């Protein structure tokens, strides 16, 4: 990767994104520079662009869903399963970075409630070091607290991108209340969250998976993913 890294930046809400060049950053201990292979457009990105997300301040590199290839690591790094990471590995990561020290992180094991949680592409302006804080960029700097998962190279990054937002959100709801085998599941809305809910419901052995709302095309897609009633 060259010393110049280009990124799409929201300078002003509701205006076209600007392409800006950033200097290749010098990494601090534990940081990982990842070349972005694919980034998703989440519904939240549209809200962000419209200026409707109070967490966001401009200028910002949006994009909280991403898959990429490690370019450089400062120090030793392992993924969430303890596997060593190195340059060239394809990875996905938790879009939310938590402190790992507060009571929610350590005692309750509910890092989504960590008061220090921040999110790539949402919480940090590109004026804030290490500047490459979002996925609509040739590269992103992952903070040392980021939970990273190494991927099989056979996975298509475009297919996997939404797993880091709607996939993770759905997984969390199934952690809170997984369906028992044979139970029926009712899903409101056939968006990406709904689709992931169908897939998880099927994995957990739900008998009836009912989806309501949305367009005919989306509902047909739901059937392909395993919905039994649309």
Contact 117, 95 (CB under 8 A): no
Q: How many helices (H) and strands (E) does the chain have?
A: 6, 11
- CB nearer to Zn ion: pick between 43 and 84: 43
- CB nearer to Zn ion: pick between 165 and 187: 165
CA angle 115, 120, 124 (to 5 degrees): 75
Q: Among 165, 195, 211, 221, which residue interacts with Zn ion (rule: CB under 5 A)?
A: 165
Give the Å distances, CA to CA, from 205 to 82, 166, 182, 198, 212: 29, 21, 6, 11, 20
Burial tier of 224 (Cβ tally within 10 Å: 0-12, 13-18, 19+): exposed
Buried b (16+ CB within 10 A) or exposed e, 169-193: bbeeebeeeebeeeeebebeebbbb
Please identify, among the stretches 29-37, 81-89, 165-173, 182-190, the one whose residues bind Zn ion according to the rule CB under 5 A: 165-173
- CB nearer to Zn ion: pick between 98 and 123: 98
Q: How far is the CB of 42 from Zn ion (least distance, A)?
A: 3
Please identify, among the stretches 5-13, 76-84, 105-113, 142-150, the one whose residues bind Zn ion according to the rule CB under 5 A: 105-113
Please identify, among the stretches 30-38, 71-79, 158-166, 198-206, the one whose residues bind Zn ion according to the rule CB under 5 A: 158-166
Q: Name the 3-class secondary structure at 152.
A: coil
- Here's the x/- map for Zn ion, 17-56, by CB under 5 A: it reads as -------------------------x-x------------
- CB nearer to Zn ion: pick between 8 and 105: 105
Size of the site for Zn ion (CB under 5 A): 8
Give me 130's structure tokens: 């290490």
Tell me which DSSP letter residue 8 carries. E
- Here's the x/- map for Zn ion, 108-127, by CB under 5 A: it reads as ------x-------------
Q: Which residues bind Zn ion (CB under 5 A)?
A: 42, 44, 98-99, 102, 105, 114, 165
């Amino acid at each position: 990767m060259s010393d110049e890294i280009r990124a799409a930046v929201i300078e002003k809400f509701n205006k076209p994104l600007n392409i800006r060049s950033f200097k290749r950053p010098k990494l601090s201990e534990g940081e990982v520079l990842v070349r972005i292979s694919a980034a998703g457009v989440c519904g939240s990105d549209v809200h962000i662009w419209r200026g409707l997300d109070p967490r966001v301040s401009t200028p910002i590199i949006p994009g909280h869903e991403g898959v990429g290839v490690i370019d450089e690591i400062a120090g030793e790094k392992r993924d969430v399963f303890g596997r060593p990471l190195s340059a060239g590995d394809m990875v996905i990561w938790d879009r939310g970075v938590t402190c790992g020290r507060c009571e929610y992180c350590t005692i309750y094991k509910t890092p989504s409630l960590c008061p220090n949680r921040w999110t790539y592409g949402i919480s940090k302006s590109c004026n804030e070091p290490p500047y490459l804080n979002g996925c609509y960029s040739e590269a992103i700097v992952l903070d040392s607290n980021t939970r990273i998962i190494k991927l099989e190279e056979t996975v298509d990054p475009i297919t996997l991108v939404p797993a880091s937002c709607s996939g993770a959100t759905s997984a969390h709801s199934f952690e809170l209340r997984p369906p028992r085998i044979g139970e029926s599941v009712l899903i409101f809305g056939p968006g990406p969250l709904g689709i992931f809910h169908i897939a998880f419901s099927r994995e957990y052995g739900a008998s009836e998976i009912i989806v309501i709302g949305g367009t005919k095309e989306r509902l047909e897609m739901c059937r392909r993913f395993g919905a039994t009633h649309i």
